[in-house]
């Protein structure tokens, strides 16, 4: 029995820390690999490689999070404009946040999307 290591998935999609290479009757609470789906390794496993679908999903999720954040900034500024209570600073900030939101929405048009993304800088508050 080898103590301490990693149970590495045979499909290459992840790993977890384990207490030993095989079950130990004296330590029933210990965690060890499931040899049907995992292999034992003492070496630090490589980082799993994301599938194209996972890369696209992560990029879209990040884009959507930035769009939501921008909308939270736009809405009260737009309310101030609609109610004719906006200051010049409010109007300038509204324009900046709307422009940012458009640029974030257009990151999908970038040639290397979703593998390489140049995110627009957020407006200063």
26-50 mean pLDDT:
86
Domain ranges in the chain are 3-41, 52-109
Lowest mean pLDDT of 19-28, 48-57, 81-90, 110-119, name the range.
19-28
Helices (H), 1-125: 52-82, 88-105
The model carries a pTM of: 0.66
Q: Hey, which residues does 9 pair with through a beta bridge?
A: 38
**14-20: average pLDDT:** 89
Task: For 63-119, write each residue's pLDDT tens digit.
Answer: 999 999 999 999 999 999 999 999 999 999 999 999 999 999 999 999 999 999 999
């Amino acid at each position: 029995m080898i103590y301490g290591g990693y149970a590495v998935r045979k499909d290459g999609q992840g790993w977890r820390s384990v207490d030993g290479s095989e079950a130990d009757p004296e330590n029933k609470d210990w965690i060890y690999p499931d040899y049907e789906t995992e292999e034992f390794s003492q070496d630090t496993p490589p980082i799993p490689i994301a599938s194209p679908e996972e890369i696209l999903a992560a990029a879209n999720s990040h884009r959507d999070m930035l769009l939501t954040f921008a909308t939270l900034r736009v809405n009260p500024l737009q309310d101030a404009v609609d109610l004719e209570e906006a200051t010049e600073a409010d109007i300038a900030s509204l324009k900046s946040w709307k422009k940012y939101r458009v640029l974030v929405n257009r990151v999908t048009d970038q040639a290397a999307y979703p593998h390489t993304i140049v995110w627009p800088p957020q407006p200063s508050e």
